[in-house]
């Protein structure tokens, strides 16, 4: 990761750091996710505790509110040195494109994702004006009930569990998943997901080394959820779907 040695607690005071934290739990058309609100709340508190100037925390966003939240954060992040987006909830991959799923999504066909979900590309786009570091944390690959329900239209590839690896991002844009690309992550047995727990435990010490293969965050995620692997060398620990 760019500036991997910098911890939030010791980052330069001149840095303007902003964060958007979203937790989607009460899905209307599939089963709810029990830990996502807890995860969003503790991650938002963490960012505030390490000196983020702006931390926008939102929960249970429908598709319109989700897109508006990203639009508003684009403005917030325009003059930022570091910007972080953390998302906990359902996600899906269709034909190589990753989508985050709002709580009111109605997904009957893969054709519906453009209207009913929020493309990860939209989030990456919203952070383009950030000066130093853009970090997107996706705790979004939990076992996904939408995958089995989607019917494929035309020649598009079928929706898959897990999220796809992102290849084409700039050097100062980093995307972390809670589970290895193409696999699913889990809520865990405690109040928070393994990914959120590892993030909270390690952020003050080495948050910006999240993607370093030797970083303890990856080791904690792997230890606490045996199905998760931190073997993706480029993007580190991957997300819940």
Encode pLDDT of 32-67 as tens digits: 888 899 999 999 999 998 889 999 999 999 999 999
Q: What is the pLDDT of residue 43?
A: 94
Tokens 């370093």 sit at which residue?
Answer: 212
Instruction: Please name which of 228, 33, 221, 58 lies closest in space to residue 144, comparing C-alpha atoms.
Output: 33
pLDDT in tens, 179-188: 555 455 555 5
Position 238 pLDDT exceeds 60: no
Which range has the top average pLDDT, 19-28, 133-142, 170-179, 195-204? 19-28
Q: Domains of the chain, with CATH numbers?
A: 15-224 (3.40.50.1460)
Q: Determine which of 1-10, 13-22, 156-165 has the lowest per-residue pLDDT on average.
A: 1-10
Position 27 pLDDT exceeds 90: yes
Per-residue burial over 142-179, b if 16 or more Cβ lie within 10 Å, else e, is: bbbebbeebeeeeeeeebbbbbbbbeeeeebbbbbbbb
Position 213 pLDDT exceeds 80: no
Q: Determine which of 28-42, 147-161, 192-206, 211-225 has the lowest per-residue pLDDT on average.
A: 211-225
Euclidean distance between CA atoms 30 and 155, whole angstroms? 26
Structure token pair of residue 79: 């003059």
Q: What is the chain's alpha carbon radius of gyration, rounded to the nearest angstrom?
A: 16
Q: What is the pLDDT of residue 193?
A: 84
If one compares 51 and 21, the residue with the highest pLDDT of the two is 21
pTM to 2 decimals?
0.75
Neighbours of 218 (CB within 10 A): 25
pLDDT in tens, 98-117: 899 999 999 888 888 899 99
The percentage of residues in the chain with a pLDDT greater than 70, rounded to a whole number, is 61
Position 154 pLDDT exceeds 50: no
């Amino acid at each position: 990761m760019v500036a991997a040695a910098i911890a939030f607690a010791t980052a330069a005071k001149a840095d303007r750091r902003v964060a958007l934290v979203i937790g989607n739990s009460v899905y209307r058309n599939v089963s709810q996710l029990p830990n996502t609100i807890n995860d969003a709340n503790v991650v938002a508190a963490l960012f505030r505790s390490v000196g983020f100037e702006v931390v926008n925390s939102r929960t249970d966003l429908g598709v319109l509110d989700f897109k508006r939240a990203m639009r508003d954060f684009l403005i917030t992040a325009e003059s930022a040195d570091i910007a972080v987006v953390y998302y906990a909830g359902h996600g899906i991959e269709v034909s190589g494109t990753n989508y985050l799923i709002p709580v009111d999504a109605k997904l009957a066909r893969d054709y519906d994702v453009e209207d009913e979900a929020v493309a990860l590309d939209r989030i990456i786009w919203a952070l383009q004006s950030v000066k130093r570091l853009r970090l997107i944390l996706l705790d979004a690959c939990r076992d996904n009930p939408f995958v089995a329900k989607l019917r494929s239209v035309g020649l598009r590839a079928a929706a898959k569990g897990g999220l796809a690896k992102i290849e084409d991002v700039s050097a100062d844009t980093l995307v972390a998943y809670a589970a290895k690309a193409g696999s699913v992550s889990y809520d865990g047995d405690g109040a928070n997901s393994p990914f959120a727990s590892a993030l909270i435990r390690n952020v003050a010490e080495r948050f910006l080394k999240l993607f370093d293969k030797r970083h303890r965050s990856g080791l904690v995620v792997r230890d606490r959820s045996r199905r998760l692997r931190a073997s993706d060398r480029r993007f580190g620990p991957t997300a819940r779907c």
